[in-house]
Every structure is written in structure tokens, then in C-alpha cells.
Structure 1
Amino acid sequence: MSRAALSVLLAFVAAAVAQQDPPGSTPLAEKHFSYPDGIPYKVDTLTGIRGTQSGYNMCNSTTEGPESLCQTGFINHIDDWCVWAPPSGPTTIGDSEGDEVAWCTKPGRGTRIIPAGAITGVQFLRAKSYVEVLAFFDQTLLNMTPDDFGGELDPHGRDLRGNPMGGLIYSNGLPMSGSGDNNTFTQVIEWHNFIGANFSCFKACDPQDPDAPNYCYNRLDRVGISYVCPNQAQNNVFEVCDSDNQDFVGVYTSDGQTLTYTQPADDVPITMPYTARIPASSNCVTYQSTDLFPNLPTPTRAAASAGATPTGSGSGAGSPSRTGSAGSSPTGAKGSGSSSGGAAPTGGAATGGAAALHGSAFAAFAGLAGAVFFL
């Protein structure tokens, strides 16, 4: 597509957004709900250009299972976390980002449960300012196509409704906000989940840290995991580690100067001027997967496109890079805040199946419109 045609398309979509999305709507990242009693059925009540929130946030035993459309997830510990993935498929993150549902490792909160055999390695990091889950898995068991290099999901997006729309994240293990009570959950305001190429990074930044938006920065969606979540995770290893904070996402030092990388326009190839520093880790404790995930359900690759509707209140249970470090590269040209950059590395294949893929722009009108405005 030529630059002139792209400009016309952008103007058209911008006009559509202005006409259909009511001004003054509260951004998802500014909505706060106590868990579980303060959570409404849906946190996004807008009917805009992207339609309505496809799932719900009030989740309990009546919604749990393979058809759940719960969009309230958790990041607590190595055996207790979630990822965002499609409600039906096989499909790509880029085509389903607004509708992703929570796939979790623990029952009791009304979500889908990640099936047995899907998870092949996990590193859970506890840093001063955030907790982070780096996981290798078979993404086809989560309704993703096997060749999807994925992208970024976060509580922002161009229309500020988030991807998924209305998605909420909670934690009982945050470094500053944690109470030590496994049944007390704090809402995570700033988070991002890169998922694709059989690898996921889900970082939950502590809301008590004023730098949370810098550690969970969401505008490098085309750059990917090796810069947004620099890590030393290894496939077939299950471990919990203490970790130093990473550098602010996109901030680096060159010739004694502190610089900030800005992602270029969608039609400009990515050429990174720096290599992200991998934060040091310590006090690592390893586990066996059978001890962490003993009761996951039998996998089914075909999931229903419609889910259960909750009843009752929303009650719930209380160094150098190793070969497993996944990185980035776009499968499609997406704009800032987008969720369809990539989770695969910019160069070289990773153990989890990540490999470089330099993507092309979306050819279809709907795909390009979504790429520019809603991801």
C-alpha cells in the first residue's frame, strides 16, 4: 500500500473512531475495582467502533471451564498465573486481541484452565517493581495457530479500552503491594503480555511503584520480548528467581548518554540500535512440572465460541542470554500500543520455537484499520 493510500485510510478510520466512540470514556487503565466484590459483570460498557466487550469480569464457579469467557486474570506465583489467549480458534493474536480470555493454571476463579501438556517451561521472576512469568508452551492448545508469532496485549491500545477490551489483572504476590495474604488480591494497573512463537512474557508492575508505566511500557509492540522482557528463561526448566529490575523499556545507554528508543512508523523496518540488558537473577529454586501443575485438564484443540454466563456474585479463590530467551519481530505492521507485533526474536531461533520473522503490512482494510488504531 502506498503512503498516500495509507494516509487516506488513516484519515477515514480516525473519522470513524471520532464518530462512533463517545468522548470522555474512562480508559481501562483508570478503572479500579476491588476483588472480588467490587468487580462488575463487565468493566467495559462502551459500544464503539470495536463493538462491545466480548467476555465478562464477574467470574466464579458457574463460568469456569473450557467455554469460559472470563476476562479477569491473575499473576501470583510459579504455579498460579494466567495468559491471555483466544476464546476460539485456531486463530492469531492479531485477529483476536480484543476478545482474548484468561487461561490460567489454577482452578477456582471462573477462568479457562491451561490444558495438560501445554506448559513446557516456566521462569517466575520477583523483582523490586514487578513480578513476571516467562513461559514456554504449545500454543495450539490455547486456540492459536502454530505459526503465529503473536504480539502484545495490554490495558491501553489506541482507543484506551485495552486488549482484551475490559481485561483485568490481579495479584497477591506483588513486591510492594503484597500483604502476605494469599486471599487478598491487588489490581494490577500496568501490565503487558507478549505471547506467540510458543512463548509468553506476562509482566505485572506494582501499582505502588511510580515507575510502573516505565517497566510495563506498551509502545514497543513491534520490538518484542527480548527488549520488553529481557530474560534468561529456559525451556524444560521450571524455576522461581529473585531478579534485579530491568531497565525501563526502551531506555538504553550509548557513549555515556541515556537514550530512549522510539518505535518507527509501521511501514519502516525495525533496526534496533542497542541490545537490552538482561537483569541479574539470584536465589533460583527449581521445581518439577508434575509438582506445579498436577491436575490440569485433558487438552482439546477445539474450543466453543460462546461461553457461560456467570450467576451470583463474583466470588473467587483466594549474565548472557540463554537459548530460551525469546525475543521479537513483527508478523504485521501495527501501531503504538498494538498487540500484533511479535513475540519471536529479531534474530536466531529460541528453544521454545521462537524465530525471526520480518512481517508485512496487513493487506485487508479491516486488518490495517485494527492494526493502526486498536492494538
Structure 2
Amino acid sequence: MSNSVTLSSFVALVLSASSLVAAQAPPLATYPAVPLAKKGPFEYPDGIPFKVDTDTNLIRGLQKGYNICNGTTENQESLCQTSWLNSLEDFCLWAPSEPGHEVGDIEGEMIAWCSKPGHGTRLIPEGALKGVQFMKTPDYVQVVGFIDQTQINMIDGDYGGEMDPHGADSRGNPMGGIVYSDKFTGKPIQGIEWHNFMGSNQFCFKVCDPAGPNAARYCEHIFDRIGCAFNAPNNAQKDVFESCEGESQDFPGVYTGADGVVTTYKQPAESLGPITTVPYVARVPVSSNCVKHESASIYTGLPKPTVSATSSSSSASQTAGGSAGISTSRTTSAGPAQTGNPQNSNTNGGDSNNESGAERVVVFSGLAAFGVAFAALFLA
């Protein structure tokens, strides 16, 4: 009996000590008190805080840049993280602040690069844009196009990734990044829901009308592995610069089969490996009133291009984001229309199929032969 009492006392003592240690140790915070997509709306310009993300003691660190941007911050060293999407002439893209890093590694630190002076950001260098289509629909505005991505500090051959105001930890990619448009009310208002795919010298950027009933669905963030062709289907063309009106697309991931049945595609878990097939081709919305422009006449006041950046020591041919399409645990297509669907090694808090899943993505190398098959599938 005495031994039994002694053992019970020992167990009680251990449990008591464990409780004391647990009570004294600070919790490892993962999520912000308020998710980025729930912050704001911040009235432009006086309601914008210096930094939207002020959360501390979170595993991804602090916000890279700032959100109050003006003439004093407009230079090629700017760390402005307030972006815009107004028109064919006037839009921004999320890109790195310095060369040598794959997008998948620094999505949380991306900064704004704009096509027009006046937003307090870095400017996309002259001639970097190689074709852009702007589209205004009843539910959103978007730009899709082609770019020399080395001119905005992206590695040549990087398949890139997706930026949106969610992310696995709800802090957004980039953290603290906010977006405005004047196309919904005639004055600048914050677009709460948006997504921007960058990579393989291509991009798509969509901002949804915050007053629309389906903003979160049109600017979905859970299909980060299948990219522009499915999230922003379009008719963008190289060397063509046009502004269009159009109907809204189907919700990303939703499609109507040949039998007339409406189905919702579910992106497979990353643990199942790379996505090699998708069971549908996204419907490209009908466009109208397209007006073509000469790029030299609409993109003015931009800096001269720099010498093209080169791949980092983790070169494209050696990494998961390489042009050979070597397999990764996360794949992302950033290609306009139904072509150019690259893969992405996204290791910095990318979205999962539910916003609360803050899993760490593990990148692995695969066979180059698989990459060739993947490219043939999506580039056909």
C-alpha cells in the first residue's frame, strides 16, 4: 500500500510541475489576433496605418515594408506594400525587394512594383511588360500578361507562386499587403479579396469588388497549385496591350461537365505529390469592347531596364522551380490563358485547402522526365 501511495504522490508531483511549466512558458503564437483579410477597410489615404501587420511573436517575423506610401517612398529601393489595380496603364504586381530568392521562399516579403508613377512604390522598368490584358467585369478587375520577370528581381526560370490576403497563417502573402482600386466606386477603395500569381515570365492579378456578394469566391485562394489558367482564365496575348470589358468567370474550381453537371474541383493534398492532371478546362469569359494600345504611349515615366538578373546558386535547372519542371510538393501555374502553367516550390506559408492549415511545405526533387511530361500536359 505504501508503495502505491508513493507512486501516486510522485505522479501528482510530476503533473503539478508540468502544469507550472506550461503556465509560465509563453505560447507559440501562430495566428494573428485579426487575420489580414479582416483588417480594414482602410480609407485612402488618411486611414492607412504605417504598417497593417503589427503582430509580433509570430513564427514568420515582422512585416517587411510599410503601407503609407507617397512621393518620399517612390524609388527603386521602396518597400511599399500597398498595391493598386486601376487600369491597363495603372496597376502593380507583387515581386521581391531584392534579387536571388525564389518567390516560393519569400512570398510573405513581396513588395509592390507599379506600372505608373504616383503610388509611392518601385516602378516596373521600361519595356519589361511584354503584353497585358486588363478586364473589368461586374464582380472584379484583373490584369493578365507577360513580363521579363528578371526586371522586377525575380530569378530567370522561377515558376513563382501565389500572393493573396490569406496564407496558411492568415497573415497574408505578403504579410501586411493591401490593395486598392478606383474602378468600383470611382474613388480608391480597398479590395479585401484578391490574388496575384507570378512566375515563368507571366502574371495574373485580380481584385474583387468588396461590395459584391461573391468577392471571396471569385478571388479564391485555395487553388494556389493550378494558377492563372484556372483562377483567372483569359485571352491575354504576347505583344498585345488591350483594355476590355467582360462577363465574370465561373468561380475558380467550379466547372460544368459535358453532361451538364456542375462540379467543384478539390485541389489534392500536397502529400499526394505534384498535380499532373486537372479534370477540366476552365471556361474563358466572353470579353467585349476591347481597345488596343501601344505600350510606349501608356507606360510612361518608367525607369530604364537594368541588366537582366541571373539565377541564384540554387539555379533553375537544379531546383523545384526550374524550367525543366522538376516535381515539387506544391505546384502553381502562373500562365495566362490555358498555357504556360509552371510549377512552384512554395515554402513560406502558402494556402492549403482550408485557411487554418498552417502546415510546413517540404520541397523535394523529382525526375526531369516527369517535368517534361508535366509541361507537355499544360502547354499543349
| Post-superposition offset of 1:108 | 1.6
Distance 1:69 1:261 in 2: 37
* CA distance in 2 between partners of 1:370 and 1:281 (Å): 31
Deviation at 1:294, TM superposition (A): 2.3
CA contact (8 A) 1:346 1:356 kept: no
Q: CA 1:346–1:374 in 2, change beyond 3 Å: closer, same or farther?
A: farther
SS at match of 2:289: strand
Task: Specify the alignment match of 2:228 in structure 1.
Answer: 225
Note if 1:113 corresponds to 2:123. yes
**CA distance in structure 2 between the partners assigned to 1:215 and 1:52 by the alignment:** 29
Which residue type is aligned with residue 343 of structure 1? A
CA shift at 1:158, angstroms?
1.1
Aligned ranges 1:1-375 → 2 under 5 Å: 19-21=27-29, 25-32=33-40, 33-47=42-56, 48-174=58-184, 178-179=185-186, 184-254=187-257, 255-268=259-272, 269-270=274-275, 271-300=277-306, 332-334=328-330, 341-344=332-335, 350=339, 354=340, 356-357=342-343, 367=347, 373=359
* 1:223/1:330 contact within 8 Å kept: no
Question: Following TM superposition, by how much is the alpha carbon of 1:295 offset from its aligned partner in structure 2, in angstroms?
Answer: 2.0
Query: Size of the alignment, in residue pairs?
Result: 310
Please give the secondary structure, in 2, of the residue aligned with 1:227.
Answer: helix
Alpha-carbon distance in 2 for matches of 1:115, 1:185:
25
Question: Could you list the per-position Cα deviations for residues 90-142 of structure 1 after superposition, in whole angstroms to 9, with x for gaps in the alignment?
Answer: 32210110000000011122100100110111100011100000121100001
Instruction: Supply the AA of the counterpart residue of 2:167.
Output: G
Identify if the C-alpha distance between structure 1 residues 356 and 57 changes in structure 2 by more than 3 Å, giving closer, same or farther: closer
Specify whether residues 58 and 276 from structure 1 end up closer, same or farther in structure 2 by C-alpha distance, changes over 3 A only. Answer: same
% identical equivalent positions: 50
User: What SS is found at the alignment partner of 2:217?
Assistant: helix
Question: SS at the partner of 1:201?
Answer: strand
Q: Determine the C-alpha separation between the residues in 2 that align with 1:92 and 1:333.
A: 15
Compared with structure 1, are the counterparts of its residues 234 and 355 closer, same or farther at alpha carbon in structure 2 (3 Å cutoff)? same
Return the offset for 1:23: 5.7
Q: Secondary structure at the match of 2:243?
A: strand
Look at both structures and tell me which one has the larger radius of gyration over its CA atoms.
Answer: 2
Is the contact between residue 157 and residue 373 of structure 1 (CA under 8 Å) also seen in structure 2?
Answer: no
| Secondary structure of 1:194 counterpart | strand
Change (3 A) 1:203 1:283: same
| 1:283-335 alpha-carbon deviations (Å, 9 max, x no partner) | 110000011112210123599xxxxxxxxxxxxxxxxxxxxxxxxx897424x
1:368 CA displacement = 7.9
1:203-232 deviation per Cα after TM superposition (whole angstroms, max 9, x unaligned): 000001010111000000111110011111
Deviation at 1:267, TM superposition (A): 3.2
Give the SS at the match of 2:85: strand
Q: 1:191 to 1:331 in 2, by over 3 A?
A: farther
Distance in 2, Cα, partners of 1:224 & 1:237: 21
Distance (Å, rounded) in 2 between the aligned partners of 1:233 and 1:345: 6
Whether contact under 8 Å (1:100, 1:163) holds in the other structure is yes
Q: Distance in 2 between matches of 1:277 and 1:215?
A: 14
Determine if contact 1:149/1:330 at 8 Å carries over to the other structure. no
Secondary structure of the residue aligned to 2:270 is: coil
Return the structure number with greater relative CO, CA threshold 8 A, min gap 6.
1
Please give the per-residue CA displacement for 1:240-277, whole angstroms capped at 9, x wherever unaligned: 11111000010112222211111101132322111100
Contact 1:155–1:162 under 8 Å retained in 2: yes
Equivalent position amino acid for 2:171 in 1: R
